[in-house]
Structure 1
Amino acid sequence: MYLKRTNPTLYYLQRLGFYLLVVVIALYLLVPFLWAVLTSFRRAGDLFLQPLQFMAAPSTWGNYADVFANPNFRLGLLYSLITAVGAVFIALLFGSFAAYALGRFKFKFKSAVLYIVLAVSVFPQIAVLGGLYTLINTLQLYNNPAGLILSYLIFTIPFTVWVLTSFVRDIPGELEEAALVDGASPLQTLFRVLFPVMMPALVTTGLLAFINAWNEYLFALTFTSTKRTVPVVIANYSGATQFDQPWGQIMAASIVVTVPLIILVLVFQRNIVSGLTAGAVKG
């Protein structure tokens, strides 16, 4: 406001520059997605038109009909849902207990454990691929959704533990003390008192872990041969010949896979914001 009073020209130029920057960033982020949506409604022959002609070409739902008529895509959706939900459920269950212990109790090497958890969460997947492949084969879980769930826990559990620990650490201890005075056991305190308070953080970590598991490609490609998830199915889309690439169907399948994630983010956006900002300010 001071700049607006002293130098209104500079103030409005800064505002204009800010909004121009926002527009440029929005276009940079949204145009590829909008172009993918547009491509999903075009016939194969329209892909070779000039951009303006391509945008003006008539729309068709044929690509979406072909995608849902593909049994591999339908099974891929099912396997993706099973593996993502299973991995997130197990990660939240074990991650909550670990975060409660790390955030509430004092014990030796607690900081070392937290740093190990952080290191595991940023470890590249390709580095553990060989050992994990041997483990899954030994457990006879190859080409099994359970094997994918086991492999996804490598990155979902450390992420869940790290995020929830910082949240649990900032929960007032008076809540537990009041529950213990009322005769609640530690497990009752955790499930009936702390879990409701942790709900924003649980929703945030669960949704982010679900997105990572839903979009995961490397493990799904390596540990399955027929029971494959959606990312692998889309990557293996092929046309009538080896030289034909059905971009319209690929874009339609990608939109179908992306829309549920967008809906989840929009539905839980308040929980996500409160979960991400929880513990940011001490008071």
Structure 2
Amino acid sequence: MSASNTNSGAELLFLGTGTSMGVPTLGCKCAVCHSTDPHNNRMRSSIALRYHDAAHDVRRTVLIDTGQEFRMQAIRFGIDHLDAVLYTHGHADHVLGFDDLRPLTFGHAAHLPIYADDPTADLLERIFDYTFRKVDRYPTSARVDLHRLSSEPGTTVELFGAMIERIPVRHGHHIIAGYRFGDAAYLTDMSDLPEASYDRLRGLDIVVLDALRREPHPSHSHLDKSIAIAQRIGAKQTYFTHISHDLEHSATEAELPEGIHMAYDGLQLNFDIAAFPTEGDAA
């Protein structure tokens, strides 16, 4: 099942929309965890971007985050090739699937580029030391090139003809990375937005926001706050992700304002990745 706006050219595929413990949550007896509605079955949050690289006339796939279920997500959604990976931050539910990149990096002349800010890159190098160390590197480690992204507002990276901007996002006491790509933006694990980030999110067709549960949480935005942030950003369509078992899909969807939706694993959105704000537009 898919949904789209009026633009085309790129696809945003939700590989997972769940919180760090996933849904169903282990040991939980609640109605959402025992629901038969597949919309309530949520793997850890991650997305894939698919778009055409006009310069080389090939289809590119760019991943944001590799949670614990990345292998299962890749099998479920037919991901058999990756061109790049971007990381939002270094928590377990966003990085621990890193090692499952290995088979997707074998047999290619170039190493897979991955992008992360300094704290996340440091953590990847520490957890997966056998991949990154220069001496006695494990021979079948993932073949990757780690690129460190500046945490300064306005940091961009060009990937196969698409400009991707790092958007600072507040995650509790930490500033982590969200990303804007053309007419869409992905801001998972968000408790709030720095004021300057709102200026980088003008003119969006699609924005994806964290909406963990109904009650406030110290490091994630809750439902009412996410609605208010969505309305301030003013994207044509908003989709909530990183959803816990406190929010039943259909019942929550029915109460959301117009233009705001619950995302779910496997949802695909079409958008324009070529459009991007100029410095004047974002000032």
**TM class by smaller structure:** under 0.3
Q: Relative contact order, CA 8 A, sep 6+: which one is greater?
A: 1
Query: What TM-score do you get using the length of structure 2 for normalisation?
Result: 0.19
Between structures 1 and 2, the one with greater helix share: 1
Between structures 1 and 2, the one with greater strand share: 2
User: Whose radius of gyration is greater, 1 or 2?
Assistant: 1
Query: What TM-score do you get using the length of structure 1 for normalisation?
Result: 0.19
